[in-house]
A and B are shown apart, each in its own frame.
Chain A
Amino acid sequence: EAGVAQSPRYKIIEKRQSVAFWCNPISGHATLYWYQQILGQGPKLLIQFQNNGVVDDSQLPKDRFSAERLKGVDSTLKIQPAKLEDSAVYLCASSSRLAGHNEQFFGPGTRLTVL
């Protein structure tokens, strides 16, 4: 079974530029999560999708961050414009309702550096 795929793995941009990350969850997993992991901290939820609907985006900085999951499979997370404090690893995870959501499977992450 293929795992959660993310790209790119690394991205370096200057502040005020835009950036987008892509995630492909495990096949059949209806629930998809984006987490932000700042160096030295645990991951923090940005947004959660159930199929193509948003379940929780309460911690997403909506003035600069946006995310979509148009067909209920792949997802993109965008930052526009980026700030220095957005430097972090962005993790995508997925889980299955059929498996009771007892485990979230994580992708390798995208490491973003904002200069």
Chain B
Amino acid sequence: GNSVTQMEGPVTLSEEAFLTINCTYTATGYPSLFWYVQYPGEGLQLLLKATKADDKGSNKGFEATYRKETTSFHLEKGSVQVSDSAVYFCALTRNQAGTALIFGKGTTLSVSS
């Protein structure tokens, strides 16, 4: 079946450090891939997405590239800020439009100044 595996947290970094959160997936066909973020006290919101192989999603300095050969969608940011402290979820949908998201367990990021 379809599933998402992301690195265990928490991840603790100093401000301006480089961030990588690993995400790998198992899926049939050609899923769309997403990173959602949940800031403290707020709801889930889409951070970035990629809908086909080799696509790069980017937003707010975060990037992730859809790698079909390694079934991965790792999240990266060159220089994190305290305001990036949140829980990050990797997710996929099957290639049919309007299907539900399948989420990883989430990775908590804590950035200190």
Q: Which of A6-39 contact B (CB under 8 A)?
A: 31, 33, 35
At the interface, yes or no: A44 with Cβ under 8 Å from chain B?
yes
Q: Which residues of A contact B81 (CB under 8 A)?
A: none
With most chain B CB atoms within 10 A of its CB, the pick from A4, A43, A107, A108 is A43
- Count B-side interface residues using an 8 Å CB cutoff: 23
Bound together, the chains give a CA A102 to CA B55 distance in angstroms of 14
Q: Does A45 contact B (CB under 8 A)?
A: yes
Least Cβ–Cβ distance between A30 and chain B, in angstroms: 9
Bound form: Cα–Cα A95–B105 in Å: 22
B36 to chain A minimum Cβ distance, whole angstroms, is 8
A-side interface size class: 20 to 34
The chain B residue with its CB closest to the CB of A4 is B43
Known A-B contacts A33-B100, A48-B100, A100-B97; the reply to A43 vs B49 at CB < 8 A is no
| B103, A103: Cβ atoms closer than 8 Å | no
- Within 7-66 of B, Cβ neighbours of A (below 8 Å) are at 32, 36, 42-46, 49, 51
